Structures are given as C-alpha cells and as structure tokens.
C-alpha cells in the first residue's frame, strides 16, 4: 500500500493493520524455518509495510505533540 493511502487512514485503522502485519510476519518466519515458505520476498514486503505504518504513526504523534 502506498504511503499516501496510509496517511488517509485513521490511527486506529493503522494500528489494526500493524497487528495483522506482525501476525503475518510471524507466520512467514515460521514457514521459513520449517521450509514451507513459497515466496521469500513476501517477508521483505511485510517488513517494509510495518516500517511505513510505524513511521506514519510516529509522524502523527509528533504532529499532535507540537500543537
């Protein structure tokens, strides 16, 4: 998902997505360890999405703090 689309969502939606992505990352790592992972690049995509969401949440937190 693009950063612009993420910025339009509410912080609650972003938190929900973050929880879902962390659970998916756990499952992907488990599949990697057991040799069942079909698409290793998915781990990278999920990590990137987690980082984007965390960055946007932090920006909003700092913006609220400044005001």
Q: What is the distance between the alpha carbons of residues 22 and 39, in angstroms, rounded to a whole number?
A: 17
Q: What is the distance between the alpha carbons of residues 29 and 21, in angstroms, rounded to a whole number?
A: 12
Domain count, the chain: 1
pLDDT digits (tens, 9 = 90+) for 48-59: 999 999 999 999
The mean pLDDT value for 40-47 works out to 97
CATH number of the domain within which 62 lies: 1.10.287.310
**Side-chain half-sphere CA neighbours of 54 within 13 A:** 9
Which has more pLDDT, 2 or 16? 16
Query: Residue 13: which domain range?
Result: 3-66
pLDDT digits (tens, 9 = 90+) for 12-40: 999 999 999 999 999 999 999 999 999 99
Interacting residues of 53 by C-beta distance below 8 A, sequence separation 6+: 6, 14, 17, 18, 21
């Amino acid at each position: 998902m693009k950063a612009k689309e993420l910025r339009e969502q509410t912080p609650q939606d972003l938190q929900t997505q973050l929880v879902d992505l962390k659970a998916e990352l756990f499952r992907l790592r488990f599949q990697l360890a057991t040799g069942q992972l079909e698409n290793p690049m998915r781990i990278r995509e999920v990590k990137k999405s987690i980082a984007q969401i965390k960055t946007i949440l932090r920006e909003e937190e700092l913006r609220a703090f400044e005001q």
